[in-house]
Amino acid sequence: MIERLTPREKLALGAAGVVVLLTILIAGIILPYRAALERLDQRIVSRQGQLLEARILVQRIKAMQGEAAATQRKLSAAPSLPLVATLEGLVAEIAGKEKLLGIRPQPVTAPAGVRQEKVELQLEKVRLEQLVQLLHAIDSAKSVMQSDSVKMRPRFEDAALLDVTVVVSSFVKAS
């Protein structure tokens, strides 16, 4: 059948065959190959992001482990002072004993091997600077204390004075 075709028809048939072959080659091999390369590039970028995230997490874990070790050392070396007396002393030293309205013990749940005390400290007519000094003194005390929450309300008669409620926790290694 091909023998009966004229040279011009043979040339047209050959060109059509080449076009069909190129189309199959492009659609069947080259385009899927490029799509696969793009997916792999996206996967590489995604994995690099995950790797960076993992490195950041490792750094944060190491920092937390360092903080935990420092807290453990501080907990071991901390004097076992009563929390109420310590707080009364800090308030008297920083703001004056007359600013102390009340101290109420709070219920606690402590992890094994640690004894925790928690109190709510109520102060009135305290200046913001005095509150900041008190919170700094609590957080940097030799015993392991921390301020858990702070609630402030400005006084009606003088907005520079605050009524403050601070919840403070103290941790001591259980014996």
Domain ranges of the chain: 2-76, 83-173
pLDDT by 10s per residue, the chain, length 175: 777 888 888 888 889 888 888 888 888 888 888 899 999 999 999 999 999 999 999 999 999 999 888 877 777 766 667 777 788 888 878 888 787 778 887 777 666 667 778 888 888 888 889 889 888 888 887 777 888 889 999 888 888 888 899 898 887 766 6
SS3 127: strand
- Beta partners for 163? 153
- Tokens 């900041």 label which residue? 132
Query: What does the alpha-carbon distance between residue 92 and residue 61 come to, in Å, rounded to a whole number?
Result: 39
Of 9, 15, 17, 19, which is closest to residue 1 (Cα–Cα)? Answer: 9
CATH superfamily of 83-173: Ribosomal protein S6/Translation elongation factor EF1B (3.30.70.60)
Model pTM?
0.55
